[in-house]
Amino acid sequence: MKVLVSDKLSDKGVEILRSAGLTVDVKTKLTKEDLLKEIAEYDGLVIRSATKVTAEVINAAKNLKVIGRAGSGLDNVDLQAATKRGIVVMNTPGGNTVTTAEHAIAMILSLARMIPQATASTKAGKWEKNKYMGVELYNKTLGIIGIGQIGSYVAKLARGLMMNIVAFDPYLSQENAKNMGIELVDMKELYRRADIITIHSPLTNETKYLINKSTIKELKDGVIIVNCARGGIINEDDLYEGLKSGKIAGAALDVFEKEPADPANPLLTLDNFICTPHLGASTTEAQENVALAVAEQIADYLVRGVIRHAVNIPSVPQEVLPKIQPYLTLAEKLGSCQSQIYKGGLEKVTIEYKGEAATFPTAPITIALLKGLLSPILEDTVNYVNAPIIAKERGIEVEEVKNVDAGDFSNQISIKVKTGGREGRASGAVFSNRDARITEINGFSVEVIPEGYMLILSNNDKPGVIGSIGTLLGDNNINIARMQFGREVAGGKAISVIGIDSPVSAELLNRIKGLPNVLSVEQIRL
């Protein structure tokens, strides 16, 4: 079998593939046209971040069985297209955790002591001791946005520097935060108290421009801001104004909204701004680790049929997979749905299998559900292998219940989550055509196709609610793909699930919340 390595990879990684008896071709810097021509003959593809594995590339890959990403991010792979073709997509989660966390700390230290600026000054023949007066990190308050693997490790390093740590993570419980030596606070409290803010959250609709003109006003005067997570979480124009005015004492970016960074970006003209070209994962050790890991994973799958760290296919026997695949899809969608609706520190998850669903081996289905539950929180660092471990580490209790009676359906999977003193429930079923549907949300019967962007509204069952929402969406060029409704009794509480073709902005979401008889609204993506 043949493997194409289309991005730079350690020679040791290439050697692992060849030692396993695979034919390996290393062809980096291929154009899109070249890749489309080359890919047809290969069984495996090893990439980093440069190669874009689009649906067009996947369709051209007639023999492709596995895609391996040396690293964790999978923004450059069309997962849906790969899954439809039955192509296993693997990554190497955790390989960059230490490296990225250390880079964030290095950025903080560089800003606090103005090391890059002082270096440039000294190299220019100056000796400006008074100009580059720094600040100590000792006893300063570090605000961490996002306590995933990297954020957690940053907290460990910061404790060694004798810093006080406050953090915002809507999915972390107070008890688990306390065990980590972290004070969990809301975002406004973090803004008010933090001397230094470091961001370690994924880029989502909710975190897009999280740091902006409005939130900068809430920050402590003279704050330092570091972003080694994703470009686009900080509005760079607003950051520039904050730095120029002195409200923000210094900022460091390893990631930009547009990469490579535009040479005309005004941030690059400021003395109190430092940056690196997306180097968070760029250490010799990290690059070697992820190269060896992905090579071993590819070899294991192509030679021995063993799946490790797959993000789209669980580790189950090949003869079982076709039977339970629809249930895996349903479970993952249910988990993702509940995670996005019920933000807060997840404490307990109860999964109930009914009817035919209870007769299958449920362990992989539970894992798929946990992956769906955790993916909106941890993005591409969670997969079918580590989802149960991460749930345990975050203090989430997982319970399985089986019942051969499925009630109105031949099969059903239900999930109940307990989070921040609240409980939520959703159920779904696999229909005769093997299509998955969400059939119940918090006691309301629905029949929802679990895909794409959705608005989930709680509203009073009054005339005009749906019309006003439709008008508002239409006025903002948001097309409605489908709509589902459920209610207790006529005139009582109701639920509306509106499928839309594109996401709504935070501002538009707030306008929907303000409509008459709308009690709450959440935007999710499945």
Q: Which residues contact 263 (CB under 8 A, 6 or more apart)?
A: none
For residues 465 and 493, the answer to whether their CB atoms sit within 8 Å is no
- Residue whose token pair is 């590819």: 298
Q: Which residues contact 405 (CB under 8 A, 6 or more apart)?
A: 354, 355
For residues 442 and 396, the answer to whether their CB atoms sit within 8 Å is no
- Residue whose token pair is 């020679």: 11
Active site residue 38: no
For residues 484 and 472, the answer to whether their CB atoms sit within 8 Å is no
Going through 314-390 in order, the beta strands assigned E by DSSP cover 346-355
- Residue whose token pair is 């993005």: 379
The span from the CA of 255 to the CA of 280, in Å, is: 9
- Nearest Cα to Cα of residue 201 among 192, 210, 191, 214: 210
For residues 300 and 44, the answer to whether their CB atoms sit within 8 Å is no
β-bridge pairing 436-441 and 444-448 = antiparallel
In this structure, the dihedral spanned by the alpha carbons of residues 387, 301, 39 and 59, taken in order and rounded to 10 degrees, is -50
Across the strands, what pairs with 440?
A: 427, 445
Among the listed residues 85, 278, 487, 525, the single catalytic one is 278
CA distance from start to end of the chain: 35
DSSP run (H or E) holding 332? helix 321-341
Q: Is 422 exposed, middle or buried (0-12, 13-18, 19+ CB in 10 A)?
A: exposed
Among the listed residues 230, 309, 394, 437, the single catalytic one is 230
Angle, vertex CA 91, rays to CA 86 and CA 94, nearest 5:
150
For residues 42 and 320, the answer to whether their CB atoms sit within 8 Å is no
Active site residue 259: yes
Q: In sequence order, which ranges of 126-235 are alpha helices (DSSP H)? A: 149-160, 174-179, 187-193, 213-216
For residues 153 and 98, the answer to whether their CB atoms sit within 8 Å is yes
One DSSP character per residue, 56-82 reads HHHHH-TT--EEEESSS--TTB-HHHH
- In the chain, the amino acid numbered 128 is E
The rounded Cα 175 to chain-centroid distance in angstroms is: 23
Among the listed residues 259, 393, 397, 488, the single catalytic one is 259
- Token duo for residue 212: 């902006």
- Token duo for residue 133: 């007066």
Active site residue 230: yes
Residue 333: how many other CB atoms lie within 10 Å: 24
The span from the CA of 72 to the CA of 281, in Å, is: 10
3-state DSSP helix/strand/coil percent for the chain, to nearest 5? 35, 25, 40
The rounded Cα 31 to chain-centroid distance in angstroms is: 28
The residues assigned a catalytic role are 230, 259, 278
